[in-house]
Amino acid sequence: MSYFCQKGLDRFFEKAVQMARIPQHALEKLKRDVDLVGLITASGVKLEKKGGNLVGLCPMHDDKEPSLVVTPSKNLWNCLGACGTVIDWVMQSQGVSFRRANSQGNLE
């Protein structure tokens, strides 16, 4: 590897180390405290009760039949291979990065 490339990588890693990490306890608090059902319905998705879950048309797919399943008791969602927490929903539905999804305005 050339000297220039090595110095470029060093600068990249120095900046990466300097970036503030989101503490794990803060992530867990977001996952626990943000109402996933409210977040999803606020984005325009109509959810209907089906057993202990809620189902609806996923805005990330061209659905004809409901493929989005929300489990309120666990605050989790899944559809056609995608799944996760409130953070994952914001990342997927808004097409934003992990850091942007965790900013205060995106999880309200």
List CB contacts of 41: < 8 A, sequence separation 6 or more: 47
Q: Which domain holds residue 38?
A: 23-107
pLDDT of residue 36: 95
Domain membership of residue 67 (yes or no) is yes
Domain membership of residue 12 (yes or no) is no
What percent of the chain shows pLDDT beyond 90?
48
Domain membership of residue 6 (yes or no) is no
Domain membership of residue 62 (yes or no) is yes
Instruction: Give the mean model confidence (pLDDT) for residues 1-26.
Output: 58
Two structure tokens written together for 41 = 């319905």
Q: Which of 92, 103, 104 is nearest to 43 (CA)?
A: 92
DSSP H helices, the chain, are 3-18, 24-33, 36-42, 86-94, 98-101
Domain membership of residue 36 (yes or no) is yes
Report the range out of 10-14, 65-69, 80-84 with the highest average pLDDT. 65-69
